[in-house]
Copies of this chain bind each other. A is one copy, B any other.
Amino acid sequence: MSSDRLIYLPLGGAGEVGMNAYVYGYGKPGKERLILVDLGVTFPDMDTTPGVDLIFPDIQWLVDNRDRLEAVFITHAHEDHVGAVGHYYERLGAPIYARAFTANIARGKMAEHGHPEKAVRTVSAWPETTHAGPFSVAFVPISHSIPESSGLVLDTPAGRVVHSADYKIDHHPVVGEAFDEALWAEVGQPGVRALVCDSTNVFNTHPGRSESSLSDDIGRLVTGCNGMFVATTFASNIARVKTLAEAGQRAGRSVCLLGRAMRRMIEAAVETGVLRDFPKMVTPEDTRNIPRENLMLIVTGSQGERRAASAQLAQGKYQGITMKAGDMFLFSSKTIPGNERGVIRVMNQFSELGVDVVDDSDGLYHVSGHANRPDLEAFQNILKPQTVVPMHGEHRHLREHVNLCESRGIRGVLAPNGTMVDLAAEPPQVVEYVDTGRTYLDGSVQIGALDGIVRDRIRMALNGHVLVNVILDEENEPLGDPWCEVMGLPETGASRAPLVDVLEEDLSQYMGRAGRKTLGDDHKLEEGLRKVARQTGMSEIGKKPEVTVIISRLTE
């Protein structure tokens, strides 16, 4: 019997779909040698994170323990798994391991930050293993919606842990490796202490569909279109891009890729040999000399992103190409919750242009990359894990996944972000809660989600901003009247006079009746002026604005 622990600690991804970062450790309590699996980002929204560029998991715990960190392993090249490697490399300093395609993308991210590309080390798939402290790590190919996605087999003195990564069971994934049941049965053979498993689609009770099932329906759609055919999908879904391109080719259309992210992904797939026999592309310039009924575009922007190719086309023009009545636009994608408004805006703009828009509402033109409930069960049946720890999901997904396990007589452990579980204990137990959270990339600066910076921006967006400026002389006597500027507020309110005039009048009256003690005390004076400005806001325009007071004192 040993007191060594085998810990699992999600810092991100267990409580949201995004910013995956899972710590594993093995050793004496508090002295475990650590590895990190995935280091991704999530995306901001106007509701909670206006002006933020990217969101990372808060990895302070790991930074505090970086001397114990052996390596970072990246399971696949989706942004929510690899997106933060460049931003966080300096703070962690550990080598990064990935398979060729993922490593290619990771190196690009490192280069953007001036980090050494050689810090990213390319490994081969199972049975090759990488030793990282007490861990022996193998990348086992698993089907998903991006090439070379891999589950990780983590062997430790306390036994084997399988980290599923994002996966589905697809025997014909079009590009990359099929789900190989025999291989996974081999992985399960010695016994699996714990399966840490994707939970995204646990509420979907239908068996998952294969990527290869889309080709015929997409082909029919392309053939039936009399104008230009344009399709969007996730840039990293190489198989889908291939399916779309081949449908275009079969219909006698020249195919053009639009959008930097998509070109980058295809380039990486070609460079690493993942993608072969890809139809020859034409450039945006070439398209000018090709009749539109012989053209197909495959473009970025499946989520309605304002700057992506699809949104630009919907607004009229992109790289010299315009769409018009008779053309067709296909969303070969699903709309990620929260992006509905953007996607619908693009659809309506296309409608105004007379372009026919087709989406996946009939289930014909997109398949998910994640395992539905029956495929979660199938994977459990193959691996026969002693314990399942759901990850990669919101709280409701993790909880439902635990319920699913327990209904099948398998132990499930609910471990949202910050929950440190000792998988070596029998049964596994929660040994610690670690502070986790979010770090924002705001412009070029990393800020904490709780720093109050974004909260202040949200307040200005909701309430507007009033600036109050007063000047006092050496005797604490006001020099002139208070001066206001407003931003984001109506020009006039209840009294029909300009809001600024009413504010200045009320503030001026306040200054007139303020005692010497208040006028001599910056803090008191500021509070008094702020209160008056907010009251005036309420009575004039029915809202209390944010107020910034600037007090200047002349001292000569």
Contacts and interface: CB of A to CB of B under 8 A. Distances in A.
A434 B372 CA distance: 51
B467 A467 contact: yes
A337 B341 contact: yes
B487 A541 contact: no
B483 A552 contact: yes
Interface stretch (A91-99, A501-509, A542-550): A542-550
Given A442-B541, A465-B460, A489 B361 contact: no
Interface stretch (A77-85, A139-147, A233-241, A451-459): A451-459
Interface in A20-46: 45-46
A336 to B, nearest CB: 9
A33 B15 CA distance: 59
Contacts of A45: 46, 341
A203 B361 contact: yes
Interface string A437-459: 00000111101000101101110
B488 A542 contact: no
B445 A490 contact: yes
B47 A444 contact: no
Interface in A472-517: 479-480, 483, 485, 487-490, 492-494
Given A352-B395, A361-B203, A394-B348, A483 B542 contact: no
Contacts of A548: 467, 485, 487
A415 to B, nearest CB: 13
Given A357-B396, A399-B351, A462 B552 contact: no
A361 to B, nearest CB: 7
B51 A462 contact: yes
Contacts of A465: 460, 465, 487
Contacts of A494: 444
B348 A467 contact: no
A493 B446 CA distance: 9
B460 A541 contact: no
Given A467-B548, A548-B487, A443 B395 contact: no
A50 interface: yes
Given A447-B490, A464-B51, A493-B445, A347 B396 contact: yes
A344 B47 CA distance: 14
Contact of A457 (B340, B399, B464, B552): B464
A463 interface: yes
A212 interface: no
Given A51-B543, A494-B444, A483 B352 contact: no
Nearest to A361: B203
Given A464-B457, A469-B469, A348 B395 contact: yes
Contacts of A537: 443
Interface string A400-443: 00000000000000000000000000000000000000000011
Given A395-B351, A460-B461, A552 B341 contact: no
B445 A550 contact: no
Nearest to A336: B340
A354 B396 CA distance: 9
Nearest to A537: B443
A338 interface: yes
A526 to B, nearest CB: 11
Nearest to A444: B542
Instruction: Tell which of A396, A485, A488 has the most Cβ of chain B within 10 Å.
Output: A488
A227 to B, nearest CB: 15
A554 interface: yes
Interface in A520-556: 537, 541-543, 546, 548, 550, 552, 554
A444 B488 contact: no
Contact of A541 (B443, B454, B464, B541): B443
A401 B489 CA distance: 40
Contacts of A394: 344, 347-348, 351
A303 to B, nearest CB: 13
A485 B445 contact: no
Instruction: Tell which of A357, A458, A492 has the most Cβ of chain B within 10 Å.
Output: A458
Given A443-B490, A445-B542, A460-B465, 13 more contacts: A50-B462, A51-B461, A51-B488, A357-B396, A443-B541, A445-B490, A445-B492, A445-B541, A454-B488, A457-B462, A471-B471, A479-B554, A480-B554
The 10 residue pairs across chains A and B that have the minimum distance between CB atoms:
A444-B542, A443-B542, A443-B543, A461-B461, A457-B488, A50-B461, A351-B396, A51-B462, A460-B460, A337-B340
9 contacts: A45-B46, A347-B396, A354-B399, A442-B543, A443-B543, A456-B488, A471-B552, A480-B554, A487-B546
